Structure 1
Amino acid sequence: MKINLFKLFKKENSLQEIYPMSSFDILLEPKNSYPFFASLKNNNVQAYSARFMVKYEDVIKIENLIELFFLKKITQKKECVSFNGKALHYFRFEEFNQTVIDITTNNIDLIKMLFDERLTPPGPDAVFPNSDFESLGSLQGSMEYWWNVYWSPFWKVQSEQEKKIYFLRNNISNDLRDFMILHS
């Protein structure tokens, strides 16, 4: 007798049950919204998902917003919560010695509040504190990965004026500023 192990261990897509069509709302994102929430509708999951790096102090803001909308305090690095027909998968982990948040939810009001928080990921100098940005020509390896996955989604939605303000507010050196402009 043959046993198909793939079928034995294959799970149905439980996300389709957690995020049903009946609780899906269209998210009309502002033009310059960050973090970027991608629709999972093409995967038959009626929710949005985002992965973004945050400064340590922003973790509390995010978790407080989740508690506000789902009436449950986040106490673990990985949680699934639901309230009033809306659901959220939350995962917090460390990468590049920084905090990364992964959220999947169908609660567009929470997403809009996250946009309103104007979250900013840690800059290149915080993630790569020992780098000589003046001597770096091209993005490679871990810096390229970090730039494409975590920094670029934030940086691309900033206007030229917002970028200038970022440089001033964060006391960015000329070498780092030139590096950031070069790779924009």
Structure 2
Amino acid sequence: MDLLAAHGNDINSFTRYSERREFGGHVIELVTDSVAVLEALDAMRLRPPAPWLAFPDLDAGGTGSLQGSLDYWWNWLWMPYWTNATQDEREQWLALASDDWREFIELHV
């Protein structure tokens, strides 16, 4: 079920968000002018699920390009996380990945 909500407060701050279950987790789209909300979200260090969890039926060894929902997920959810992840966080992900997923990730980043 999709959720759409908006919230204003007495200090003229506004937050609007929608949420849906997708890609092995919850996708939240948020628009806000509240620095406090953004700082709180940043402090949570949220991350998307691993590609093999978001796309459990995908044959990473047989998929050469990004298309459809994989392309959307990769560019809007995974890459922003991956780009800002520390080297240690990246190595932890790659250690959990199968050889096919490791090669897929390295090919597309």
If the length of structure 2 is used for normalisation, what is the TM-score? Answer: 0.83
Match of 2:6 among 80, 85, 92: 80
- 2:108 maps to which residue? 183
Residue aligned with 2:42, SS: helix
Tell me the equivalent position of 1:107.
Answer: 34
Identical columns (%): 33
Report the alpha carbon displacement of residue 114 of structure 1 after superposing the two structures with TM.
0.6
Matching of residue 172 in structure 1 with residue 85 in structure 2 = no
Residue 97 (structure 1) shift: 5.8
CA shift, 1:130, in A, is 1.0
Q: Which has the larger radius of gyration?
A: 1
Give 1:94 shift: 3.4
Residue 160 of structure 1: how far off its partner (Å): 2.8
Structure 1 position 92, deviation (Å): 1.0
Alignment RMSD (CA, Å): 2.0
Q: Which residue of 2 aligns with 1:159?
A: 86
Are 1:136 and 2:63 an aligned pair? yes
3-state DSSP of counterpart to 1:81 = strand
Give the corresponding residue for 1:31: none
Distance 1:157 1:149 in 2: 13
| Residue type of the alignment partner of 2:76 | V
CA–CA distance in 2 between the matches of 1:97 and 1:161?
23
Q: Residues 39-88 of structure 1: CA distance to partner in whole angstroms, max 9, x if unpaired? A: xxxxxxxxxxxxxxxxxxxxxxxxxxxxxxxxxxxxx9221112231221
Please say which of residues 171-180 and 136-145 is displaced more in the overlay: 136-145
What SS does structure 2 have at the residue aligned with 1:154? Answer: helix
**Of residues 59, 70, 73 in structure 2, which corresponds to 1:146?**
73
